[in-house]
Amino acid sequence: MMREFLVDIPMGRVAGLRNSGDGPRVLALHGWLDNAASFIPLAQHLHGIDLVAIDQPGHGRSAHLPPGTDYSFVGAINAILDVADALGWERFALLGHSMGAGIGSLIAAACPERIERLVAIEALGALAEAPEHTVARMREAVAAHRALPNKRLRVFPDIDTAIRARMQATRVPGSGLTEPLVRLLVERGLAEVEGGYAWSSDPRLTLPTMTRMTEMQVENLVAGIDCPAMVIFGVPAQAYLPDDLRRRRAALLPHSELVMMLGGHHLHMDQAAAVAAAIGDFLRQA
């Protein structure tokens, strides 16, 4: 059973879920537009670790970044380290899914003295882009950011309608999310508003990223992860990270194990028992 917890860091209040376990300290980072509930199915099969799953800034029940700022992998590093500081954790392991695995990769590379182990599920490093797309991306992002104040949030009359909307949004090949799993994410990702419910996540999370690393930069970052790492990818591969690319990145890790298993992008939810069996002993060594 996971319980609610809150910590205050310089950017604001961060909410999350924590088990009552003893053992190695593991900080879990969810994917884009998900929240800490993403790790509830996995936590039911993970024992012997002190697991803390946070709602990353702008997600779930955590505070949004201040006006005038934007969300990025690099910008997330200090927020995650601030959470660890608030928990009193000098050294700890990172467990990340998708966006969370990308952010975890950056932290593991940038702060080797603090990260004991890394489990990266369905991502490794950041999304890369060719240098010649830099100007076009920045122009698109600036225009989207300037137009955001005119965007109106969708209001759902009830939770079930929001669940159906999320189900529709994830009804793509490889999503793997069933209604009970979607319900976990949606119930934590809604806020009551006049007329019903709206997503609690910051609308700025849906805007284009201002800049991205090149593939050479990502590969340099991955090669710089010194801690033991386990990388888990679902089969078949997702379009954003083709199989040859993800295998090439994983091969750059100095101390790693690559695990491939049948499952969708949220395999840590829909294949929770199998993922827990793969990572449990690895994390308990932290």
Taking alpha carbons only, the member of 203, 207, 170, 206 closest to residue 185 is 170
Domains along the chain?
A: 3-129+212-284 (3.40.50.1820)
Most confident by average pLDDT, 105-114, 140-149, 163-172: 105-114
Q: Are 126 and 212 in contact (CB under 8 A)?
A: yes
Q: Which of 38, 62, 98, 256 is catalytic?
A: 98
Where b means 16+ CB within 10 Å and e means fewer, 235-248 reads eebbeebeeebbee
- 62 carries an active-site annotation: no
Dihedral angle at the C-alpha atoms of 197, 203, 208, 211, nearest 10 degrees?
-140
Angle at 267 between CA 19 and CA 113, to 5 degrees: 55
pLDDT category at 286 given cuts 50, 70, 90 is low
Using pLDDT thresholds of 50, 70 and 90, give the confidence band for residue 151: confident
In this model, does residue 203 exceed pLDDT 50?
A: yes
CA separation for the pair 33, 256 (Å, rounded) = 28
How far apart CA 78 and CA 194 sit, in angstroms, is: 34
Mean pLDDT of 137-163: 91
Q: How far is CA 80 from CA 31, 165, 191, in A?
A: 14, 30, 23
Query: Which pLDDT band holds residue 172 (cuts at 50, 70, 90)?
Result: very low
Across the range 241-263, mean pLDDT stands at: 96
Mean pLDDT of 118-135: 97
82, pLDDT greater than 90: yes
Predicted local distance difference test score (pLDDT) of residue 170: 66
Decide if pLDDT at 65 tops 60.
yes
The pTM score is: 0.96
Confidence of residue 176 (pLDDT cuts 50, 70, 90): low
Query: What span, in angstroms and rounded, lies between the C-alpha atoms of 44 and 275?
Result: 11
